[in-house]
Structure 1
């Protein structure tokens, strides 16, 4: 009996040691901002200090006297999400792309606290800092939620609204890969703050992009590296209270609105696009068969051409 007990204790000790070694091997340290800026910054990258300890990274391209378009990326993404649209839009528009707190190259202080309106406040701070009084506001996924929320709270500043596979409607169970199951669990969120997230990020990206050829090693590297910026994992894996879309709220939006959705979106139900169209008076809906969660990256030429046509048909006032 004593031999059995000793054997069991030894086995448990070995399991604990192996688990500890595995944990240490999977842990990944932060990557300094200087390294990330050198690796993923643009020649025209700019930074703006905002209240609350935010140093926002943004790009501001195109003619300064042209109508402005402000673009907001989705969860765990960055300004890079709009690369496929920038050249075509910046010929006739002033295009501003920004990184939200916890994303891309935007820094936050150790004392930074995420509030329900933190992301909208970043949009407000950057646009006011650039002297933009009215602009077209577009966003993808979580950035789409930021866009329609900002339009509700600042109707005097948004002149057109573009929602690309936008989040906001309540859904019984979120799809999009194992990473979202981890994010829904407090213990899972804590584990993700420490371990190598590449396998989960890869799965999530394949789900979002649909076309596996688009999920390149360079794309995965960028998402994983930027998530390891100092302080990013705490914000990314925190639970920011989110505003839920309702038809009565959205019906108060009175600006021209374009809703774009991929019909094969595995992250947000494509039916949500029709919900936005019905809820926002006069909204236009474009659905792309065979396209997933990021049309501006999966079919950049086609989607930006459709956007430019819509903008021309709904000129800024």
Structure 2
């Protein structure tokens, strides 16, 4: 009995040591905002006050563009996902991209509300602040849903629509990044706010690429460090807990009557290609461009090819 007790005590000690080691290895407190700005808010970044938040954005290209291109990133991403599009398109178009509330350097909504009406009202307020009447609105994943929801809520503000692997319909995922799976478990919220293994971020980014070999250490650094902006991890858990019912969206999307380009990665496992067909069927006259070798963030994985499709859609 004494030997059994000693073995149990030894196993318990090893378990405690292993747990402590794991926590120490993955412990990740928030990074100071000034430190993050020094790295990720280089020119032409600016911050403007909207609804009590200091919104991180970049505004490039000719100011006489009657309908600027406004780019909205997806979950856990940032305005940097559009770097390639901005470089390719800002010669002829005014290109505006921002960190949506809850992500990047903008940080969380003050009231913790991440429902779609909150996001669409925020975009309307942003356009008012920038004194822009109408935009071509493009969005990837979550940003895609915010884009088409804004087109429905404020039709006079959206001239054209570009949906890139857009959310909005009931998910038929074949592969979900581990970070998203964990954020959907409310009981883990206190832990998620304190630990963040960099390897988990790398795994999640590789998961959404069609070719994981395109994921560089620098890319992982960006996703990892911006997740550590104060409030972003808590905002992610809150947003997953506030998801709107998507079952009625097919009929709602069918009300969209503006020129629409649908861009999709053929290897997207998070929001697979059948979702693109749903959008094409729902939006009368819409165009679909499928990039067979790309994943969930095609604008980031191959900016040149996807931006060329946008340029053609815009009549360049």
Kept in 1, the 8 Å contact 2:184–2:237? The answer is no
Determine the C-alpha separation between the residues in 1 that align with 2:215 and 2:17: 36
Alignment pair present for 1:248 and 2:248: no
The Cα offsets for residues 173-199 of structure 1, whole Å up to 9 and x where unpaired, read as 562332232223223444332222322
The Cα offsets for residues 292-311 of structure 1, whole Å up to 9 and x where unpaired, read as 11221222122111111111
Alignment pair present for 1:298 and 2:280: no
Determine the C-alpha separation between the residues in 2 that align with 1:197 and 1:74: 21
Kept in 1, the 8 Å contact 2:186–2:237? The answer is no
Q: Secondary structure at the match of 2:244?
A: coil
Q: Secondary structure at the match of 1:156?
A: helix
- Cα RMSD, aligned residues only: 2.0
User: Per-residue deviation at 1:99?
Assistant: 0.5
Kept in 2, the 8 Å contact 1:149–1:243? The answer is no
User: Per-residue deviation at 1:92?
Assistant: 1.6
Determine the C-alpha separation between the residues in 2 that align with 1:296 and 1:14: 46
Determine the C-alpha separation between the residues in 2 that align with 1:29 and 1:284: 44
Matches within 5 A, 1:64-75: 64-66=63-65, 67-75=67-75
Determine the C-alpha separation between the residues in 1 that align with 2:268 and 2:14: 45
Give runs of ≥4 in structure 1 deviating > 6 Å. Answer: none
Select which of 275, 279, 291 maps to 2:278: 275
Unaligned 5+ segments in structure 1 are none
User: Per-residue deviation at 1:130?
Assistant: 0.2
Aligned residues: 311
Matches within 5 A, 1:151-166: 151-166=151-166
Q: For residue 113 of structure 1, what is the aligned residue in structure 2? A: 112
The Cα offsets for residues 57-79 of structure 1, whole Å up to 9 and x where unpaired, read as 11111111113110000111111
User: Per-residue deviation at 1:234?
Assistant: 0.7
